Amino acid sequence: MQKLNFKITINPYSFMNKKLLFSFLAFLGVVSVKAQRNELGVRLGMSNLVGDVGSTSYILQKPLDLNRMSDWGIPFYGGILYRFNFNPHQTVRLDLGYNQVQFSDKAAKEEYRRNRNAYGKNNVYEASLMFEYNFFPVNNEQIGMVSPYIFGGIGALVFDAPKANLAHDFRRDPDGVALAPINEMDFKTTTEYSLGKKVTMHIPFGVGLKYKFNHTWAIFAEATFRYTLTDQLDHSKILPEDVKSSFNADILDPASGGSLLQSGNYYAVAKEREEEFIKKRNIGDERSKDWLNTFSLGLTFSFGRPPCYCD
């Protein structure tokens, strides 16, 4: 019987490189899993608007016009949030929320506002990205802990903004032909209001208190203040580009066949009416911006492997 000889050659450098590569990948996998600390939760509360209409109290506004609560309901905030805790004190957070805000001059302290008696409501949707700092290591691995925290960031708001259409009606001759306006009685204008969606930026910041229990659960209470870059949340301002004119009928130039409504006396009077409407319609300080503030309670659940924080 012939004896078979097998010769196995092992390259020590290749074996070592593969072992080091495997160890490095395994280490990255463990770190990437253990370093993750995710929180997902909900927030419920109440939002109030501080602007040119209604109360100017930044904190704990009471439910507004009780006569309209049957139609509007109660001012409400609801949202979801995601936290990524990248060390025991510091967190990056994403918030998505809905605010139903109400504003009524009846709730204002200023007498001139109560006499004016303006009111309204708005539906405001928000998305915010914020940095959160906990004063105690509440994000560490322990059964329970309490910590106050502060936060701030940047975000966007989608809200209902007022629009207006000025319907102009000219006087006509017995045959129904529109005539050029001579005085106020010859050119009647009625206003038709509507709402349209707009987007603006806001700067959110605030304070809160977080209590972690049973390793993975946490409840928190916080006050969120949002400085917005708009003055339209309380419908106190309407912008010139949101005011349009319409006419009861087009009037054609007999000579050219073009529309007289886009030139001449008709156009000039229509533009004057738009400017007059905006001047009378807008109230408050045009340089001021609205604040949207929320007081809420929340609950979060942590998931993923326990964190592995390194000094």
The pLDDT value given to residue 269: 78
Mean pLDDT of 37-51: 92
Contact 144, 119 (CB under 8 A): no
Mean pLDDT of 35-57: 86
In tens, the pLDDT along 111-149 reads: 888 888 888 899 999 999 999 999 999 888 778 899 999
- Which stretch, 18-32, 58-72, 85-99, 102-116, has highest mean pLDDT? 85-99
* pLDDT surpasses 60 at 7: no
The pLDDT value given to residue 104: 84
DSSP for 161-190 reads: EEEEEEEEEE-B-TTS-B----SGGGEEEE
In tens, the pLDDT along 206-232 reads: 999 999 998 889 999 999 999 999 999
* pLDDT surpasses 70 at 49: yes
Who contacts 235 (Cβ-Cβ below 8 Å, separation ≥6)?
53, 120, 122, 161, 162
The pLDDT value given to residue 88: 87
Query: What structural domains and CATH numbers belong to the chain?
Result: 36-303 (2.40.160.20)
- For residue 186, what pLDDT band results from cuts at 50, 70 and 90? low
The pLDDT value given to residue 6: 38
- Which stretch, 71-75, 149-153, 176-180, has highest mean pLDDT? 149-153
| Percent above pLDDT 90 for the chain | 46
The pLDDT value given to residue 106: 81
Better-scored residue on pLDDT, 143 or 10: 143
